[in-house]
Amino acid sequence: MLATLVSKPFDRPGWVYEEKYDGYRILAYKEGSHVTLLSRNDIDRTDAFKHVADAVLALPSRTLLLDGEVVAFDSRHVSRFQLLQEHSEKCQYAVFDCLYKDGKDLRKLPLQERRQTLENVVKKDNGLLLSRRLADNGIAAYRRAKEEGLEGLVAKDLSAPYIERRSTKWLKVKVHQEEELVIGGYTAPEGSRVKFGALLLGAYDKGGRLVYVGKVGTGFSKSILQSLYRSFQPLVSPSSPFANPPRERAVTYLKPRLVAQISFQEWTADWKLRQPVYLGLRDDKSPRECKLPNLRKL
């Protein structure tokens, strides 16, 4: 079940407001003595997050299907995707839904009942925690998310079943701007920079065209520059993937296969990024999922 982005915070009776985490969405399957952790696009993350798998295995139920997000927290207990890439051994599994337990399919039950089941199953322990609810009132929850420096919040209708697609029964409101964007090329390095200067980024419009939205040249260590450069070489293309190629010199274009997570201050009026920073690669997201924002109005 995926949340729909909305443009501003709100408060509604019968809704709850949870912390929006900045990590990897993971489904955890437990079948007897076997646990599998799968990403949204069916990448097996069990070995990558072994201590999370072990924590799920230790839960008392014989069969479980949990939904949540694997995250890493900074010193202020704010989840950071960049930290997750650097220190996967310190991650935790923030669980927000229980879809199956001991032979019973729970997906058609309202969230309120699924959450109660989840709270009976999952205790904060060695890599597991329950998703945090910020406040009973949606406006107060947004203020708290902003004060704490969180990425945002997810509002959920307590009466809704689990819907296996994007839904308006889950709505997300962002505090900090982050997007997954397609890497369509890079510029030549300048000065002391090695391998490349900046990444050229794009997102798909409603017509299916990859639209150039700006470049990012910060957020790279030397090791990241080198590893990215190696991954780029098989993707080098003689032509631009963008419908509106940038006016840049010394550009190497790439086939649009890789997705980067980018933080930034805001979108400009002509859909360009302001003050972008590179956070990491997203191998759990398809490039075609990277679309120009279409904020739903309440």
* Domain finish residue from 122, 157, 175: 175
Low-confidence stretches of the chain (pLDDT < 70) are: 87-89, 124-126, 294-298
Indicate the pTM of the whole model: 0.80
Query: Both 50 and 182 in a single domain?
Result: no
Q: Is 13 a domain residue?
A: yes
Q: What is the CATH number of the domain that holds 158?
A: 3.30.1490.70
Query: Both 5 and 144 in a single domain?
Result: yes
**Host domain of residue 240:** 177-289
Query: Both 56 and 8 in a single domain?
Result: no
Query: Both 111 and 253 in a single domain?
Result: no
Residue 248: what pLDDT?
A: 87
Residue 201: what pLDDT?
A: 98
Please, what's the b/e burial string for 167-191 (b: 16 or more CB within 10 A of its CB; e: otherwise)?
Answer: bebbbbbbbbbbbbbbbbbbbebee
β partners of residue 259: 182
Half-sphere exposure of 180 (CA within 13 A, CB side): 19
Instruction: Give the Cβ contact number of residue 102 at 10 Å.
Output: 11
Q: What would the pLDDT profile of 92-109 be if each residue is shown by its tens digit?
A: 999 999 999 999 999 999
Q: Which of 8, 20, 108, 172 does the annotation list as catalytic?
A: 20
Query: Both 13 and 150 in a single domain?
Result: yes
Instruction: Specify whether 20 is catalytic.
Output: yes
Quick one: which of 177, 222, 234 has its CA closest to 195?
222
Q: Is 297 a domain residue?
A: no
Residue 85: what pLDDT?
A: 76
Domain count, the chain: 3
Q: What is the CATH number of the domain that holds 253?
A: 2.40.50.140
Query: Both 144 and 15 in a single domain?
Result: yes
* Amino acid at residue number 106: L
| CA gap 39, 57 in Å, rounded | 18
- Provide CB contacts within 8 A for 207, sequence distance 6+: none
Query: Both 92 and 232 in a single domain?
Result: no
Q: Is 201 a domain residue?
A: yes
Q: Are 118 and 97 in contact (CB under 8 A)?
A: yes
Residue 87: what pLDDT?
A: 65
Residue 89: what pLDDT?
A: 67
